[in-house]
Amino acid sequence: MQYDDLGPEHVLMVYDPKIGMRGFLVIDNTLLGPGKGGFRMTENVTADEVARLARAMTLKNSLAGLPFGGAKGGIVWNGGTKELKKKFVESYARAIKPFLVKKYISAPDVAVGEEEIRWFVEAVGNLRAATGKPANLCLEVINGKGKKTMRCGIPHEFGSTGWGVAQATRIATEHAGLDIKGATVALDGFGNVGSFAAKYLTEMGARVMGISEHGGSLIAKAKEELNIPKLFDAKQKGKSVFDVSESKKSPYSKIFELPVDILILASVTDVINETNKDKVRAKIIVEGANIPMSEYIEEEFFKKGILVVPDFLANAGGVISSYAEHRGYNPKDMFHTVEKKITENTREVLNMSKNKKISPRKAAHEIALARLGEKKK
């Protein structure tokens, strides 16, 4: 685990011997406000992984101009019944309760959605302990005019992260001298982020030529494009996209090799690596997932003239949505806020990258650290 002048401030490991729950919480930096970042439930999550993600949240929140620091949580989850999962979430929430609200505000992450967040906040008896809550979970507050108002949850299932990825893609396309209308796109991952990004980009006029999910890819037939409205509807209904598409299932690796304008990475860590980096043919890569490739590979792409929009810029829509919920915005205002912040920040990062002849990641990192530095003064 890396320690430096930014943090981490707190590294917490919790254990419940009664049910075997093991979890982690890393609060990286609270200079800008309480640490913000979701908790994930995976079988191989570690304190080191959580620490890396917490640092990413410090930079992401600073770059987005949010009054949040960086933090992340994790529960070792090997699977089981819904009842057992609920017990794990409740146990974890109670274990980290002393840090909640003032030092840490949680949110959804891998294998954690609005239902798990409901369990989390109810376990500690505080709706302010997390964002990404169900829309029908509301808190009555007194506004600045002395009137009672309701602040309700804005679940990430509304598609805020995918909306932000689509906005970052639009600006990157303009920056590269292309028109989003008619631009060709491939998406690695068709979950919450990828499916919504595909939906919004299609509405902008982009043509989605391929998507991947669960170890396979769907590639559009020659001179055609995938029927994203049909695939999105199937996804929302819990169906497999492979069962409703006219395209045959292709090997997963094919998604990275398509000759498209834009490749969006919206699945898991390190999907682009030494085995496939030289096969990528896209002009623009947008990182909708966290750490989809190492920084040195990003630098190689930069030197080749491939534009890479880094993760903590492109996928900030989720945490901006969390900010909107924290402020009591409605979903319409939330989407407007995500669009405004992602658009402005993407333009600023890409312009700095161009002017200083440095990669977009280095530019984004420089801006984020500068904003943290201003707070220190």
Q: Which residues, 6 or more positions from 292, have their beta carbon under 8 angstroms from its beta carbon?
A: 188, 265, 267, 268, 269, 270, 271, 272, 311
- Token pair, residue 85, equals 């999962």
36 DSSP β-pair partners = 70, 105
Q: Where are the alpha helices (DSSP H) in the chain?
A: 47-63, 82-95, 114-124, 160-175, 192-203, 228-236, 241-244, 295-304, 311-314, 317-327, 331-356, 360-376
CA-closest candidate to residue 284, choices 147, 212, 160, 186: 186
Report residue 205: phi and psi, to 5°: 105, 0
d(CA 242, CA 18): 42
Strands 148-152, 184-188: pairing is: unpaired
Q: Catalytic pick from 60, 72, 283, 341?
A: 72
Phi, psi values for residue 347, rounded to 5°: -60, -45
Q: 286 forms bridges with which residues in the sheet?
A: 264, 309
Token pair recorded at residue 212: 């991947």
**Residue corresponding to tokens 């990669």:** 359
> Catalytic site residue 72?
yes
Three-state secondary-structure class, residue 159: coil
Q: Which residues are catalytic?
A: 72
